[in-house]
Each structure stands twice: as structure tokens, then as C-alpha cells.
């Protein structure tokens, strides 16, 4: 039998318990789940009941120093990901962090820099949607230049409905000090990652956000962001947690075609027979209205393809685990390198900073300014320690 990576899970909440279940069921062939740690005694009792063959720890560092694990996955509050990632890497242990990589870029940058000093160790992030065959295909289409240079992107994703009862479950939810934000850091990190992974990293952002807009919370429950890619290309990102009937529509418009994705499930890819610039130059005065009349023949100008796969959302976590272990065992390239985690955090930080200041914010914004404003929000809550 080929060697398996000995893995420990940090945290036995919703995510950690789900990971423990499918790993224990052998759904990831190159990983052996050997240990779980949780600080909550009641959760440790639950671990012992559900997984009697595993070693249960009450302290993360004790598990790291035990010699039982060679890799860990962190399913803990967002602020702890960078700290725990560094602590594992310091001890020569491979790390798979949950998304988001952290709450603010300063702490995530520290994690990335430390990981870069340990190139012999595997550092990955749980961007499981990068394994989604639909989005992988769309990235191929965009990266190959099939729809040309991007002119505009739009993602309207308001299917993240959360009632007030969701936020009332615990004191740390939807707080600046406990969770680090709202919809941007808790529901939408996958969307922020996919948006940049497929369309590229923007240069700046201007945003409006509703803080406690439709819920009794301090953090954002609605966001509208406009990004600038340079060279006249722009994009928008709109998300919210209060629409009972939400919308999930993602558009990428290029000068040689267009992609429209509905429900993160079905994409219609339009490929122009020549660039829009060439089509524009070829239309004579007498045909000005032809493009919008019954005389218009779409086959003359473009082709269309519908792209759809059986599984479009969810269920890809096991693939990320398998890829993580394969990188450890034989150097298989990572689907989602841990260093990529800073991209989504940076964009979320820039959106927050723009909404707080009312100004357009570049992607190389002042990290100290952001942290100072975040700490001001944390101080106003009066529940959690400030960050450094």
C-alpha cells in the first residue's frame, strides 16, 4: 500500500466535523486522519464518540509537538489561521488553511513570508471551488484569449441569505473583533477568489457597503464594489445576505466574446467571428440599424456554446485534500497554493477601506491605515482585543 499523509484537524465545528467524517470514511485515499484537537471539552467528547480510533488533543501546540501528525488543516476562527499556520510550519508540519487566509493583509503577508522560507513544506488553502469543472473551464477560456481582452466583469451574488437567528448563534459572529467582517469574509471569499483567479487582479476599488443594513449586526451585510483593471476595463461585485430570492449571475465581457454564468451552474460562451473592433469597422452606414432589427443574423457574427457539468457547487473539498497530500508525497502542483490566500483578503480589505473612507482605494493600500481603522471598529464593540 502506498504511503498516506498523517493528518490532524484543528477545530471540530461544522467544517472540521465534516472533514473528519469524509476523511475517516476513506474518501481521500492518500490521507490518514490520525488526530483532532479542540479546546471545547464537549466537542472533545463528541470526537471520542464519533472517532474512537483517533487521538484527541485539547491543545493545538501539543498536537503539533506530539509527533503524531505531519500535516494539519485549520478550521478555526479567521484571525487564527496565520498564527496557527506559522506555528505548524515552524515545526516542519505541512499546512492546509481554511479560507479566508486571515482577516487583514498584514498578518497574511507574515504567514506567506514565513511559508516562503520553508520551501520544503507544503502550504495550501482550501479554495475548493478552483476544482469546480465549470470554473476551471472558464479560466481556460479566458486565459487562452478566446474571448479576447477583458473589458468588463460583473458578479451579482446575493444567494447568501442569512436570517438574524444565524447571527445570534454566538457572540463572535458578525463582529469585527471575532470574525473580522461580514459577508466578504464569511460567505463570499470563494467568489472573490474565483473572480480574481479567472479575470485577474484589479488595480483599485471603490465600494459602498451597508453595515447592519438589514440585520442587527455591526459588519457588512450588503456590498457593491466597482473595480478598475486598467486600460479602461472595469468590474462590479455585488453581494448581500438579506435577499430571500437571491441571484447568482457572473458575466465576463471581452472584445472577442462574452461569458454569462447563471447559478454557478451553466455558462453560455459567445465567441465573435472577429473582434468587436473589426465588426464595428465593417458596418456601413446603411446597416446601422441591422444589428438591432429582425434582419440581424447572429450566425454571421458569433457562435455560442453552453457549458455545464453535473456537479457545479460543493463536494470538491476532498479533491483539495487529495491534491494537498499528493504535493507532499510526490510534488504534484497545488491547485490552490497558500500564498494565493492574500489576494482575496487584500480585495476584501480594500473594499472595507473604501466603504469606510468613501474613497477609491488602490490594491497597494496602506496596510497600517486599514489595521488602525479595523482596531477602531473592534474597540467600539468592546468585546475583543485589538490586533497588531
Q: Supply the DSSP string of 79-147, one letter for each residue.
A: THHHHHHHHHHHTT-EEEEPSSS-SSHHHHHHHHHHHHT-TTS-EEE--GGGG-HHHHHHHHHHHTTTT
- Predicted pLDDT at 67: 97
- 156 Cβ contact list (under 8 Å, min separation 6): 236, 238, 239, 247, 248, 249, 250
Q: What is the C-alpha to C-alpha distance for residues 339 and 123, in angstroms, rounded to an integer?
A: 8
Say which residue the cell 448581500 belongs to.
Answer: 240
- Predicted pLDDT at 2: 83
- 213 Cβ contact list (under 8 Å, min separation 6): 220, 221, 222, 240, 242
DSSP code for 67 = S
Q: What is the C-alpha to C-alpha distance for residues 361 and 206, in angstroms, rounded to an integer?
A: 6
Q: Strand order in 94-97's β-sheet? A: 55-57, 31-37, 5-10, 71-74, 94-97, 123-125
DSSP code for 337 = B
User: In the beta sheet, which residues pair with residue 154?
Assistant: 236, 251
270 phi and psi angles, rounded to 5 deg:
-105, 125
Instruction: Name residues of the chain where pLDDT drops below 50.
Output: 1, 312
Query: Strand pairing of 31-37 and 5-10?
Result: parallel
Q: What is the C-alpha to C-alpha distance for residues 56 and 54, in angstroms, rounded to an integer?
A: 6
- 203 Cβ contact list (under 8 Å, min separation 6): 227, 228, 229, 230, 362, 363
Amino acid at each position: 500500500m502506498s504511503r498516506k499523509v498523517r493528518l490532524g484537524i484543528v477545530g471540530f465545528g461544522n467544517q472540521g466535523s465534516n472533514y473528519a467524517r469524509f476523511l475517516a470514511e476513506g474518501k481521500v485515499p492518500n490521507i490518514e486522519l490520525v488526530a483532532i484537537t479542540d479546546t471545547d471539552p464537549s466537542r472533545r467528547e463528541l470526537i471520542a464518540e464519533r472517532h474512537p480510533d483517533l487521538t484527541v488533543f485539547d491543545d493545538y501546540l501539543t498536537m503539533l509537538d506530539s509527533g503524531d501528525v505531519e500535516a494539519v488543516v485549520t478550521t478555526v476562527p479567521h484571525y487564527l489561521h496565520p498564527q496557527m499556520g506559522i506555528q505548524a510550519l515552524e515545526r516542519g508540519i505541512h499546512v492546509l488553511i481554511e479560507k479566508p487566509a486571515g482577516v487583514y493583509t498584514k498578518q497574511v503577508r507574515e504567514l506567506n513570508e514565513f511559508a516562503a522560507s520553508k520551501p520544503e513544506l507544503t502550504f495550501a488553502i482550501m479554495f475548493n471551488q478552483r476544482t469546480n469543472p465549470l470554473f476551471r473551464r472558464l479560466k481556460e477560456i479566458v486565459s487562452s484569449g478566446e474571448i479576447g481582452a477583458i473589458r468588463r466583469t460583473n458578479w451579482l451574488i446575493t444567494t447568501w441569505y442569512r436570517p438574524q437567528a444565524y447571527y445570534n448563534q454566538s457572540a463572535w459572529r458578525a463582529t469585527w473583533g471575532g470574525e473580522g467582517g461580514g459577508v466578504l469574509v464569511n460567505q463570499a471569499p470563494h467568489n472573490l477568489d474565483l473572480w480574481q483567479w479567472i479575470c485577474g487582479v484589479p488595480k483599485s476599488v471603490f465600494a459602498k457597503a451597508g453595515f447592519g443594513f438589514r440585520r442587527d449586526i455591526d459588519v457588512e451585510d450588503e456590498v457593491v464594489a466597482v473595480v478598475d483593471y486598467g486600460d479602461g476595463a472595469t468590474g462590479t461585485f455585488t453581494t448581500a445576505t438579506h435577499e430571500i430570492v437571491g441571484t447568482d449571475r457572473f458575466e465576463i465581457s471581452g472584445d472577442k466574446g462574452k461569458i454569462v454564468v447563471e447559478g454557478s451552474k451553466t455558462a453560455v460562451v459567445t465567441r465573435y467571428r472577429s473582434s468587436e473592433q473589426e465588426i464595428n469597422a465593417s458596418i456601413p452606414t446603411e446597416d446601422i440599424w441591422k444589428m438591432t432589427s429582425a434582419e440581424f443574423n447572429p450566425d454571421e457574427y458569433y457562435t455560442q456554446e453552453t457549458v455545464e457539468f453535473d456537479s457545479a457547487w460543493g463536494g470538491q473539498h476532498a479533491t483539495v485534500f487529495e491534491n494537498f497530500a499528493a504535493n507532499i508525497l510526490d510534488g504534484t502542483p497545488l491547485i490552490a497554493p497558500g500564498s494565493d490566500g492574500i489576494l482575496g483578503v487584500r480585495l476584501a480589505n480594500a473594499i472595507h477601506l473604501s466603504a469606510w473612507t468613501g474613497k477609491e482605494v488602490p490594491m497597494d493600500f496602506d496596510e497600517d491605515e486599514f489595521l488602525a481603522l479595523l482596531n477602531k471598529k473592534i474597540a467600539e464593540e468592546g468585546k475583543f482585543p485589538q490586533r497588531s
